[in-house]
A and B are shown apart, each in its own frame.
Chain A
């Protein structure tokens, strides 16, 4: 049901925890019914690129795996590229997700787009 990549990111999530002196911090939350997943994303930039992403969250295994994959995926992207990341990109990094975890990859992608837009606005 879950891919090895999904399980790897869930059991050993990367880049968790608060970031010291981030260049941007954003909160996003799932807006549908019955799910209370939320993400606080921290970003540090290096010129026009994402240098590092960290995050805190409240969420299911899907959101943990998706945030971990998203944080790896984002590193080194330009701000424009990061601002265009979609849930499908995060799902691909996880080797695919079941339909019921689609909200997780969408939310992780939204978190990245939101923080990337904030960094762009600050330039």
Chain B
């Protein structure tokens, strides 16, 4: 039996999405900028997809810029919205994805300043910390809706309100929120919002940035004028058609998916209580269902992942030993965990199609692995 708990790394593609993509990988090829019939057909598909993604978040179609996914959207938002100024400050939560934090490091090299907003032990931004650090030089605030690694949900309505009151644009990475919560960008008051197709059951390598009409942005890629002049490079038509289909399905099915995910999450959490010493991070009632970050002090996550892998269970970790990272997860560190605790942290992420049998498989295997490793532990 194979059980998959690494949706954060890659979510399986919904077969209905694959079906929607296939025509544009075969006979439906064409570049939307070409004036001939194939080009016009591609442009039509692109426009319809743009409308579907816009409808998914309550935006206008020309407020959607298609990208290669979360990392590019975050880079475009953070760098693009700062680089239209000569100088200024970026405010970013300390638990932002690395694509935001690395973009911030680049901005610092180019003369901009970055201030990180500390978070509490659950990885949530305190509003007073945000307000305290905002000043007349602040040109952008960035705080993701759901912290991917832990499932912590940020108080983004309050963040947006606070930032808007100071006339500062607000960028929100909604990559891991979009599959869970309805999004209306106008109601939320966000100025830029990152989406990624894959967590919705769409293809990997496709995403979008919502950019409020009227907001100036510096493109990161120079070239022709696709995406209304805001991103060079031919659009990934098949991927975008898949993204649109995934967004349409998510819009229709989100309540049922959320309820199912909540049931599975609750079941896994209950079963995890049977494993001595297992501590769940950011475990507030608001935690995003489908993401459980937990640690087993004294055990190395990489060894546990290898044990699970041997049993056909696929998960991930915040431990540098289990990844190619050189340092412990910045999210766990920002929450106050030690490097050693981060090394003992496992991430289990799953979706609405995950089966109860997979959860049983995971819990029983993990229990046995913990017992085996503890028997040889100092």
- Does B associate with A? yes
Q: Annotate B300-314 by CB proximity to A: 1 below 8 A, 0 otherwise.
A: 101100100010000
Which of B321, B326, B343, B377 touches A56 (beta carbons < 8 Å)?
B377
A58-B299 CB under 8 A given contacts A10-B306, A11-B310, A34-B339: yes
Contact A64 B378 (CB under 8 A): no
Judge whether A117 is part of the interface by a CB distance below 8 angstroms: no
Distance of A114 Cα from B324 Cα, bound (Å): 30
In chain B between 287 and 344, which residues have their CB closer than 8 angstroms to a CB of chain A? 298-300, 302-303, 306, 310, 320-322, 324, 326-328, 339-340, 343
Distance of A16 Cα from B300 Cα, bound (Å): 16
Judge whether B165 is part of the interface by a CB distance below 8 angstroms: no
In chain A between 50 and 73, which residues have their CB closer than 8 angstroms to a CB of chain B? 55-61, 63-64
A59-B339 CB under 8 A given contacts A34-B328, A35-B321: no
In chain B between 328 and 378, which residues have their CB closer than 8 angstroms to a CB of chain A? 328, 339-340, 343, 375-378
Distance of A55 Cα from B376 Cα, bound (Å): 8
**On chain B, which size bracket covers the interface?**
20 to 34
Which of B306, B320, B324, B377 touches A58 (beta carbons < 8 Å)?
B377
A77 to chain B, nearest CB (A): 22
Chain A residue with Cβ nearest B305:
A61
Contact A40 B376 (CB under 8 A): no
Residues of B near A37 (CB, < 8 A) are 300
- Chain A interface main SS type: mixed
Total A residues in contact with B, Cβ cutoff 8 Å: 22
Distance of A100 Cα from B302 Cα, bound (Å): 12
Judge whether A17 is part of the interface by a CB distance below 8 angstroms: yes
Which of B324, B343, B375, B377 touches A36 (beta carbons < 8 Å)?
B343
Distance of A39 Cα from B378 Cα, bound (Å): 7
A113 to chain B, nearest CB (A): 19
Judge whether A38 is part of the interface by a CB distance below 8 angstroms: yes
Distance of A82 Cα from B328 Cα, bound (Å): 35
Contact A40 B321 (CB under 8 A): no
A34-B302 CB under 8 A given contacts A17-B375, A64-B376: no
Residues of A near B339 (CB, < 8 A) are 34, 36
A to B CB contacts below 8 Å, 30 in the list:
A10-B303, A11-B310, A13-B376, A34-B320, A34-B326, A34-B327, A34-B328, A34-B339, A34-B343, A36-B339, A36-B340, A36-B343, A37-B300, A38-B378, A39-B378, A55-B376, A56-B376, A56-B378, A57-B376, A57-B377, A58-B300, A58-B377, A59-B300, A59-B303, A60-B303, A60-B321, A60-B322, A61-B306, A63-B300, A64-B303
Q: A38-B378, A58-B377, A59-B300 are in contact. List 10 more A-B contacts (CB 8 A).
A: A10-B303, A34-B320, A34-B339, A35-B320, A35-B321, A36-B300, A39-B378, A58-B299, A60-B302, A60-B321
